[in-house]
Structure 1
Amino acid sequence: MLTRTRMLAVLLSGLCWTQGAWAQGSPTGPAVVATIKPLQFIAQAILDGEGSVSALIEGSDSPHHFNLSPNDRLRIEQADVLLWIDPKFEVYLAALFADTAASESSLMVTASAISGLTLHRYPDGELDPHLWLSQGNALLIAQALTEQLACIYPDKAPHFRAGLDQFRSGIDKQAQALQRRFSNQHVADYLVYHDAYRYFEHDYGLTHSASLVADPDIQPGMREVLELRETISASSPACILLEPDASPALVNTMVQNDAVKRITIDLLGNSLESSANAYRQLIDHVATGFLSCLNI
């Protein structure tokens, strides 16, 4: 049995798992199943036409609440690699992923456990799971995935490593361009719907003044709403960054100044088609939202 300790050791040491079902791989090529589209985009850049990459959560589905279909379960069982954030983010998958990995039919790559990642935490100590918004983190995830795929399919290792090199080059160029856009600018005060942008903000020296909700799945109480509305009114923010599932009624209650711009950012990239360039497109989308919000 491949225990959690063994799975983590394999991933963090860069060793190959060479027993059981992974020794030869599938004749149809690599199969990677990611939980969310940002992870799918990273994997797609590495495979780049070899095998298949799919995401379990698409469209308006939430990573926090999701019902698996029989087809989803079949994809998980047949995957070479299962790629997710961690058990606290995709709670609904924790038991199934652990059982699948323990059966030695799939390798489970837990992104938050990869060595070297920059991880941010909320004031209560909980991990901010939106770690894909750091381009440096995305590269480390891509590196870990590349090495594991190269172990399973050694004949395709040059292809995977070429994909990684291209991914790294694209991220480096994009990060340099964004640093120029965000540096030495007077940044206006802005709000966020919920505190999900720490990784991107950290990379580019940005800080929001307040978030409307601590948890997008839990509506704040009336006292909290009134206190925050007063704070927002006093700060005169230039804009607020929303998400596709933000509650319009709650936003209207808290932000009563019509002059405050409202910019919607899709952090999961659900409107993007998966491709080798999709991760950079997602970061461009996030950056464009900030730039538009802040008039940079």
Structure 2
Amino acid sequence: MLHKTKPLLTLLSALGFAASLTSTAQAAVVASVKPLGFIAAAIADGVTPVEILLPDGASEHDYALRPSDIKRLQSADLVVWIGPEMEAFLPKAVAALPAQKNLELAELTAVKPLLVRGADDDAHEHEEGAEAADEHAHAHHHGEYNMHLWMSPEIARQSAVAIHAKLLELMPQSRDKLDANLQHFEAELATADTQIAAQLEPVKGKGYFVFHDAYTYFEKHFGLTPAGHFTVNPEIQPGAQRLHQIRTELVEQKAVCVFAEPQFRPAVIDAVARGTKVRTGTLDPLGTDITPGRDSYVKFLSQLSSQYASCLKGA
């Protein structure tokens, strides 16, 4: 009897292990980049899991899909991304998915009127020759519009509404929880919006340089006044003339702060700021150290605000 029981238990254990593997492989929502995962996690909280496609430390600008990524996309109930101008590594994989699994935020009717054009011309208007031509070609990396949409609180709200609608189609039995999650997200976002506006009010009008043009939506929303950016595509180092132009503005004290990023901390930032009174800070456009959850997007915005305020105030 004991001999019969042991194989049975072994079989049941194996089946249980296989089932656990299957369940963990089934990602209900896959978001391309972490900040989109923050928004999705707020709506899906307590309903269905959310996974982030891009690993921490990787750049959305030059990522290459692995076979395991393809499997995650194929097994997802919903894939949330921005569009081919941002995630150039995704269109082919997403095209193979059924339309109802694809949520391309840049194509949303409510989002399109909120798009702003890429700030690529101001960085190149003083440059000449082959260097300028090369950098200008790379300036159009994202196409006509700036695609760092997660930096806009209003686009984030519209994205949350769209994710809510998609999940409601997939999981109508979870309507009450999904509705409650959306209401909570909108309320918390409105509160954070007011708090961040108050935090940043004292630093309006103070000039600064960011490493690349990821922050336009946030800056416009809260009335900040950047002096410019080092590069449009963070994979491309700024040219000598651009660095000279920035250095001149720093020496003339037209900016009080220069921001690097955790993903990109090139030596050129320290070199350009050396010997000036300008402060250096760090802005994290991906919320690298934040864990996706119910209030992670609001935490992301608040962290970004504090990073701005700390350097601009000189704290």
- Would you say same fold, with TM above 0.5? yes
AA aligned opposite 2:48 = G
In the other structure, the counterpart of 1:241 is: 259
In the other structure, the counterpart of 2:106 is: 112
* Worse overlay, 164-173 or 68-77: 68-77
d(CA) in 2 for partners of 1:30, 1:231: 49
* Worse overlay, 201-210 or 177-186: 177-186
After TM superposition, the structure 1 = structure 2 runs for residues 29-40 of structure 1, keeping only pairs within 5 Å, are 31-40=28-37
Checking the alignment, whether the CA contact within 8 Å between 1:76 and 1:82 is kept in structure 2 is yes
AA aligned opposite 1:221 = G
* Worse overlay, 61-70 or 129-138: 61-70
After TM superposition, the structure 1 = structure 2 runs for residues 202-241 of structure 1, keeping only pairs within 5 Å, are 202-241=220-259
In the other structure, the counterpart of 1:142 is: 160
Instruction: State the 1:100 CA deviation.
Output: 1.8
Instruction: State the 1:252 CA deviation.
Output: 2.4
* Structure with the greater alpha carbon radius of gyration: 2
The equivalent position to 1:98 in structure 2, one of 95, 100, 109, is 95
1:94-117 per-residue CA deviation (whole Å, 9 max, x = no partner) reads: 11111123xx6x511111111222
Q: Any stretches of 5+ residues in structure 2 without a counterpart? A: 1-22, 121-142
Checking the alignment, whether the CA contact within 8 Å between 2:227 and 2:254 is kept in structure 1 is no
d(CA) in 2 for partners of 1:187, 1:141: 30
In the other structure, the counterpart of 1:163 is: 181
1:17-37 per-residue CA deviation (whole Å, 9 max, x = no partner) reads: xxxxxxxxx9x9980000001
| TM-score, normalised via structure 2 length | 0.79
The equivalent position to 1:180 in structure 2, one of 188, 191, 198, is 198
Q: CA 1:193/1:200 → structure 2, altered by over 3 Å: closer, same or farther? A: same
Q: CA 1:41/1:135 → structure 2, altered by over 3 Å: closer, same or farther? A: same
Matched, 1:52 2:49: yes
Q: Give the 3-state SS of the residue equivalent to 1:257 in structure 2.
A: coil
1:173-202 per-residue CA deviation (whole Å, 9 max, x = no partner) reads: 111112222336554221111122111111
* Worse overlay, 187-196 or 277-286: 187-196
In the other structure, the counterpart of 1:75 is: 72
Segments of 4+ moved more than 6 angstroms: none
Q: Give the 3-state SS of the residue equivalent to 1:283 in structure 2.
A: helix
Instruction: State the 1:257 CA deviation.
Output: 3.2
Checking the alignment, whether the CA contact within 8 Å between 2:63 and 2:89 is kept in structure 1 is yes
d(CA) in 2 for partners of 1:249, 1:271: 23
Higher helix share: 2
In the other structure, the counterpart of 2:8 is: none
The equivalent position to 1:89 in structure 2, one of 83, 86, 91, is 86
Checking the alignment, whether the CA contact within 8 Å between 1:30 and 1:50 is kept in structure 2 is no
Matched, 1:63 2:75: no
d(CA) in 1 for partners of 2:70, 2:86: 19
AA aligned opposite 1:49 = G
Q: CA 1:186/1:82 → structure 2, altered by over 3 Å: closer, same or farther? A: closer
d(CA) in 2 for partners of 1:287, 1:123: 21
In the other structure, the counterpart of 1:198 is: 216
1:108-144 per-residue CA deviation (whole Å, 9 max, x = no partner) reads: 1111111222211124572111111111111100001
In the other structure, the counterpart of 2:301 is: 283
Q: Any stretches of 5+ residues in structure 1 without a counterpart? A: 1-25
d(CA) in 2 for partners of 1:211, 1:150: 40
d(CA) in 2 for partners of 1:123, 1:271: 28
Q: CA 1:161/1:293 → structure 2, altered by over 3 Å: closer, same or farther? A: same
In the other structure, the counterpart of 1:265 is: 283
Q: CA 1:29/1:251 → structure 2, altered by over 3 Å: closer, same or farther? A: closer
| TM-score, normalised via structure 1 length | 0.84
* Worse overlay, 189-198 or 88-97: 189-198
AA aligned opposite 1:113 = E
d(CA) in 2 for partners of 1:140, 1:30: 23
